[in-house]
């Protein structure tokens, strides 16, 4: 590959990674954490954190289709884990759409495709054939 192509690949990858990071942070702060906090309050528990599904390691379970877990604590200090799907309740629309934003691998792939396409459309008129 020519050095120019390496530069393009690195540039598109960096922009896509930035987009994936910010979309993921938006989904966590605007949907996952408020949902976990509301579930904890309704069950008389304390919200301690949110663990994304992408970072589960060595449990022997697949991460596909998982949106992550709400980390909770009861009054005695015992930890409890509830999936985000359970915490969201019977709602369907918002949890389904934000489940894509809670998967950085999916967001990076989609962002890479879109950024590469837009970059090609912008730079094509200026590239020598």
**Residue 3 token pair:** 């050095």
pLDDT in tens, 30-50: 988 999 999 999 999 999 999
Containing structural domain, residue 23? 3-126
pLDDT at 34: 92
- Alpha carbon distance 60, 80 (integer Å): 19
* Nearest CA-CA partner of 104 in 72, 58, 68, 71: 68
pLDDT of residue 43: 93
Total domains in the chain come to: 1
């Amino acid at each position: 590959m020519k050095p120019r192509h390496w530069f393009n690949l690195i540039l598109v990858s960096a922009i896509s990674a930035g987009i994936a990071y910010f979309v993921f942070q938006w989904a966590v702060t605007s949907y996952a954490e408020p949902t976990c906090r509301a579930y904890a309050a309704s069950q008389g528990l304390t919200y301690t954190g949110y663990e994304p599904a992408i970072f589960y390691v060595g449990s022997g379970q697949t991460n596909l289709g998982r949106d992550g877990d709400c980390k909770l604590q009861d009054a005695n200090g015992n930890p409890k884990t509830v999936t985000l799907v359970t915490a969201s309740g019977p709602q369907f629309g918002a949890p389904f759409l934000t489940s894509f934003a809670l998967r950085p691998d999916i967001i990076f792939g989609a962002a890479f495709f879109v950024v590469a396409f837009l970059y090609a459309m912008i730079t094509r008129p200026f590239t020598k054939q």
